[in-house]
């Protein structure tokens, strides 16, 4: 082939989520968007907070086009980075500086850069199933090898024995995503403490650094006051990959950051490797206008009440009909056991009722589907009779 085979393979086969999302758009054009129950993609339906549009309007009044639309430093505008480090320090009692922060085009870029910066070819990265499917793409692009650690299927917390067994002297990175996509589970403080203890023991045993990546686009989307432990407070060798895509409902604006823990032994080296990886991947100068917005709105939060309402309606109805799922504490996904062994076939049957859900085989757990409930509440309500019919169809067959 006269092009890069791997790039061709990835481009010609979309992710399963994107595939269903594209089908949903096509189907909506045929029968009307109101008749398609598209739960495929995590596109927030809640409006960004008013402070965001007010800030944009205010910024647009300035004549300083370089401030709004020009290049910033490769790692991001100093003021935006300082606002981020101050916010982290205030909320989590840390001592980061602007020079621990690298502004990015969302969590996808944060992850791709961090993995490229930390992994040497052939080194292993442990991910906890179920996991965001793009991890595999980013890890393999960095020359790393994906090692999947299985969950406790009763509650989808981490199986600590399995995790311990998956670490060896070739492990370089571990990724934790909590609140989790696709399960909605928030890992408990106890689980996090045990994971970090195991990592410290293993670092000692093998005499090497094992980095922990906290992938946190859903940190702010939690319900009923659930605590999401901040990993830098439990493990020095932590890098946080953050995004404002979900916390401010701005996924199309592509803005996020990487934060390197200042207490890491080689924090400066890691930061420079991140700058280098950003350069290697062409991810420099995150969008300037949105860096300015973040500088002013770093602590603004979206209203999570509509998501909580959707979760409650959907979880209560589906479990009443007989579906099995773990009650999610955060994010906006419901992880439901398919009504047959093959989740792909189950999704096809759901699709016949214009319910679009995603099979989770690529997330590392077979036999489950993901329902993204970040849609208007009336869509959830109108979908319920179809979920009921689908359940009854299986009871009859």
**Cβ neighbours of 280 (radius 10 Å):** 14
The dihedral of CA 153, 225, 251, 48: what is its sign?
Answer: positive
Under the binding rule (CB under 6 A), the answer on residue 283 touching ligand PLP is no
Contact pick of 106, 130, 278, 306 for ligand PLP (by CB under 6 A) = 106
215 binds ligand PLP (CB under 6 A): yes
Nearer to ligand PLP, 246 or 296 (CB): 246
Pick from 177, 178, 292, 310: which binds ligand PLP (CB under 6 A)? 177
Confirm or reject binding of residue 40 to ligand PLP (CB under 6 A): no
Q: Looking at 56, 101, 103, 107, which residue binds ligand PLP (CB under 6 A)?
A: 107
Instruction: Give residue number: closest CB to ligand PLP.
Output: 106
Does 256 participate in binding ligand PLP (rule CB under 6 A)?
yes
Give the separation between CA 147 and CA 210, rounded to whole angstroms.
Answer: 14
Residue in 114, 171, 181, 191 binding ligand PLP, rule: CB under 6 A: 181
DSSP-based three-state secondary structure for 148: strand
Nearest Cα neighbor of 363 from 113, 124, 184 is 184
DSSP secondary-structure letter at 237? S
CA nearest neighbour of 124 among 91, 171, 168, 88: 171
- The DSSP element (H or E) to which 324 belongs, if any, is none
Contact between 251 and ligand PLP by CB under 6 A: the answer reads: yes
- 78-92 and 288-297 helices cross at what angle (nearest 10)? 30
Q: How far is the CB of 3 from ligand PLP (least distance, A)?
A: 25
Please report how the helices 106-118 and 267-281 are oriented relative to each other, as an axis angle in degrees rounded to 10: 120
Query: How far apart are CB 331 and ligand PLP at their closest, in Å?
Result: 8
133 versus 288: smaller Cβ distance to ligand PLP? 133
Q: Which residues bind ligand PLP (CB under 6 A)?
A: 42, 106-108, 132, 177, 181, 215, 217, 243, 245, 251, 256
């Amino acid at each position: 082939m006269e092009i890069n085979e791997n790039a061709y393979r990835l481009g010609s086969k979309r992710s399963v989520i994107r595939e269903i999302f594209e089908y949903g758009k096509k189907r909506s054009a045929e029968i009307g968007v109101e008749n398609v129950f598209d739960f495929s993609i995590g596109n927030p339906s809640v409006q960004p907070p008013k402070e965001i549009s007010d800030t944009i309007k205010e910024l647009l009044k300035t004549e300083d086009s370089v401030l709004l639309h020009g290049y910033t430093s490769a790692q991001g505008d100093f003021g935006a980075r300082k606002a981020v480090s101050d916010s982290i320090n205030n909320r989590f009692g840390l001592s980061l500086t602007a020079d621990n922060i690298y502004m990015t085009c969302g969590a996808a870029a944060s992850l791709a850069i961090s993995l490229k910066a930390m992994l040497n070819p052939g080194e292993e990265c442990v991910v906890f199933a179920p996991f965001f499917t793009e991890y595999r793409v980013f890890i393999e692009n960095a020359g790393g090898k994906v090692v999947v650690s299985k969950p406790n299927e009763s509650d989808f917390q981490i199986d600590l024995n399995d995790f311990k067994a998956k670490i060896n002297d070739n492990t370089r990175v571990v990724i934790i995503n909590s609140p989790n996509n696709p399960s909605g589970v928030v890992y408990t403080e106890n689980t996090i403490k045990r994971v970090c203890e195991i990592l410290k023991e293993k670092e000692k045993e093998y005499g090497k650094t094992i980095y922990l990546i906290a992938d946190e686009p859903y940190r702010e989307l939690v319900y009923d006051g659930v605590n999401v432990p901040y990993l830098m407070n439990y493990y020095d060798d932590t890098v946080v990959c953050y995004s404002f895509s979900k916390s401010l409902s701005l996924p199309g604006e592509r803005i996020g950051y990487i934060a390197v823990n200042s207490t890491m032994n080689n924090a400066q080296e890691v930061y420079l490797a991140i700058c280098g990886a950003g350069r290697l991947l062409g991810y420099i100068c995150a969008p300037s206008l949105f860096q300015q917005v973040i500088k002013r709105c770093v602590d603004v939060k979206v209203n999570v009440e509509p998501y909580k309402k959707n979760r409650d309606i959907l979880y209560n109805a589906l479990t009443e009909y007989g579906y099995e799922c773990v009650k999610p504490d955060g994010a906006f996904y419901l992880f439901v056991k398919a009504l047959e062994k093959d989740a792909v076939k189950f999704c096809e049957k759901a699709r016949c009722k214009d319910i679009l859900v995603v099979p989770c085989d690529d997330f590392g757990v077979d036999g489950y589907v993901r329902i993204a409930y970040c849609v208007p509440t009336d869509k959830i309500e109108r979908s319920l009779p179809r979920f009921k019919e689908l359940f009854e169809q299986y009871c009859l067959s």
